[in-house]
Amino acid sequence: MKILENISLASQTTLGIGGPARWFVEATSEAEIAEACAWARERDVPLFVLGGGSNVLVADAGFGGLALHVAIKGMKLQGMELGGMELEGELLSAAAGEVWDDCVEQALGANCAGLECLAGIPGTVGGTPVQNVGAYGQEVASVIERVRAFDRAAQQFVEFANAECGFAYRKSRFNTADRGRYVVTRVDYRLRQNGAPTLIYAELKAHFSGREKTPSLLEVAEAVRGIRKSKGMILVEGDPDCRSAGSFFQNPSVAPEVAERVKQIAAGVPMRMFPAEGGLVKIPAAWLIEQADFRKGYTLGAAGISSRHTLALVNRGGARAGDILALAEKIRAAVEARFGIRLEMEPEMVGF
């Protein structure tokens, strides 16, 4: 294990923002993860786990501890060594450092349903259970069977069944009650071989409307990638709309009476609402932002809103973390002033 010093974290994130990590290490095995955690514990320095850097905002001053980049690889498909996953019937096991979209491709190649609507999402496998990654009608919580992780408190490796992970909308035990305690090293996904694709999201339904034959898993995944690309949510080199952390705000879930109040305030402006857990109502954050008079392409200094997706805050070039947060707070204040709803930011804040 090689500990590096004063390594820029901006280049490690999709936003391209942030100062240096005081120390940095890339772990390519579980043993190195345990060693890195021990190194930080013995020196009493904070530790930040870095995956693909797609859901992170790093402070301008950087991070004054050890940034641990999880880069465990290796894949097995039906007993063949291919690099980070193993497919046994319908069980797809992926090492935490694997690129998430490569994991989706392996599932599609085996005609396994359960991940097709999550195609094109940047980042690595290890981050999927932490945030309960979801899009276009699917969440990984619906297919995760087991999560393996290093317990920094007990200094040992542990495994969690789905029910033990505390999954909720964009949440899990790993980013709430036990934030910072566990370093994910492997995730097992229970998929449905030859299963039907998930087609419950409005945009996907519209895309395939008029077709008599149910689309294949691959066709659904390609449609998802196309929709994401149209919104600047696929990483494309040189595209300024791609210098983002994905959706910067979560869709709020509110009580029915709050949703009704929002509808009355909107005064007839068309809006969509969706049922959420616990009898709550989910309101699209993008709609709330637009109704608060923030439009696609809006800029505030070097920070801005994507020209294709209202939920994505982007680095227009030379933006600092402070610029992104200033824009985020301006949006949150406007939405709260009009609708009484405080938007929750989605990216992990590092070094603040």
Helices and strands per DSSP (H, E), number in the chain: 8, 24
Percent share of the chain, pLDDT over 90? 82
pLDDT exceeds cutoff 50 at 79 = no
> Looking at the domain assignment, is residue 234 inside a domain?
no
Q: Is 308 one of the catalytic residues?
A: no
Mean pLDDT to the nearest integer, 312-327: 96
Pairing of strands 192-193, 112-113: antiparallel
Give the domain range for residue 22: 4-70
> Looking at the domain assignment, is residue 199 inside a domain?
no
Range of lowest pLDDT (94-98, 201-205, 330-334): 201-205
Mean pLDDT to the nearest integer, 228-248: 83
Exposed, middle or buried by CB within 10 Å (0-12, 13-18, 19+), for 262? buried
**In sequence order, what are the beta bridge partners of 280?**
none
Question: Which tokens hold the place of 225?
Answer: 């990638």
pLDDT exceeds cutoff 80 at 303 = yes
Residues with Cβ within 8 Å of 177's Cβ and at least 6 positions away in sequence, in order, are 166
Residues 43 and 90 in one domain: no
pLDDT score, position 89: 57
Mean pLDDT to the nearest integer, 46-65: 95
Number of domains in the chain: 3
> Looking at the domain assignment, is residue 211 inside a domain?
no
C-alpha to C-alpha distance for 165 and 263, rounded to whole angstroms: 35
How does pLDDT run across 158-215, given as a tens digit for each residue? 999 999 999 998 899 999 999 999 999 999 999 998 899 999 998 999 999 988 899 9
Q: How confident is residue 72, by pLDDT bands cut at 50, 70 and 90?
A: very high
pLDDT score, position 268: 83
Residues 127 and 184 in one domain: yes
Alpha helix (H) residue ranges in the chain: 30-43, 100-109, 127-131, 202-207, 217-230, 256-266, 285-291, 321-339
The CA angle 277-128-140, to the nearest 5 degrees, is 45
pLDDT exceeds cutoff 80 at 80 = no
| Among candidate residues 134, 161, 193, the one where a domain is terminated | 193
pLDDT exceeds cutoff 90 at 1 = no
Residues 157 and 265 in one domain: no
Q: Which helix (H) or strand (E) holds 349?
A: strand 348-350
**Residue 210 backbone class (left: φ over 0; alpha: ψ -120 to 50; beta: rest):** left
Q: How confident is residue 277, by pLDDT bands cut at 50, 70 and 90?
A: confident
pLDDT score, position 231: 84
Q: Is 146 one of the catalytic residues?
A: no
Catalytic residue (one of 170, 228, 320, 332): 170
**In sequence order, what E strands does 137-213 have?**
138-139, 144-151, 156-161, 182-190, 192-193
pLDDT exceeds cutoff 90 at 29 = yes
Residues 108 and 178 in one domain: yes
> Looking at the domain assignment, is residue 222 inside a domain?
no
pLDDT exceeds cutoff 90 at 62 = yes
Q: How confident is residue 85, by pLDDT bands cut at 50, 70 and 90?
A: low
> Looking at the domain assignment, is residue 202 inside a domain?
no
C-alpha to C-alpha distance for 170 and 282, rounded to whole angstroms: 13
How does pLDDT run across 6-20, given as a tens digit for each residue? 999 999 999 999 999
Residues 152 and 252 in one domain: no
> Looking at the domain assignment, is residue 232 inside a domain?
no
Residues 153 and 252 in one domain: no
- The SS3 call for residue 258 is helix
pLDDT score, position 179: 95
pTM above 0.75, yes or no: yes
Residues 156 and 176 in one domain: yes
Query: From residue 81, how far is each of 74, 98, 100, 122 by CA, in Å?
Result: 8, 14, 18, 24
Residues 331 and 285 in one domain: yes
pLDDT exceeds cutoff 50 at 134 = yes
The domain that holds 53 is classified in CATH as 3.30.43.10
Alpha helix (H) residue ranges in 50-197: 100-109, 127-131
Query: From residue 296, how far is each of 241, 290, 293 by CA, in Å?
Result: 11, 8, 10
| Among candidate residues 14, 36, 70, the one where a domain is terminated | 70
Question: Which tokens hold the place of 180?
Answer: 């910072």
Residues 82 and 49 in one domain: no
Query: From residue 166, how far is each of 33, 89, 147 by CA, in Å?
Result: 24, 26, 12
Residues 80 and 188 in one domain: yes
**In sequence order, what are the beta bridge partners of 94?**
85, 187
Q: Is 152 one of the catalytic residues?
A: no
Average pLDDT, rounded, for the chain: 93
Catalytic residue (one of 54, 244, 247, 253): 247
C-alpha to C-alpha distance for 289 and 337, rounded to whole angstroms: 11
> Looking at the domain assignment, is residue 200 inside a domain?
no
Q: Which helix (H) or strand (E) holds 314?
A: strand 312-315
CB 339 within 8 A of CB 275: no
AA identity, residue 238: G
Q: Nearest to residue 121, comparing CAs of 98, 144, 93, 149?
A: 98
pLDDT score, position 90: 83
Residues 79 and 149 in one domain: yes
> Looking at the domain assignment, is residue 219 inside a domain?
no
Mean pLDDT to the nearest integer, 297-316: 95
Mean pLDDT to the nearest integer, 95-124: 95
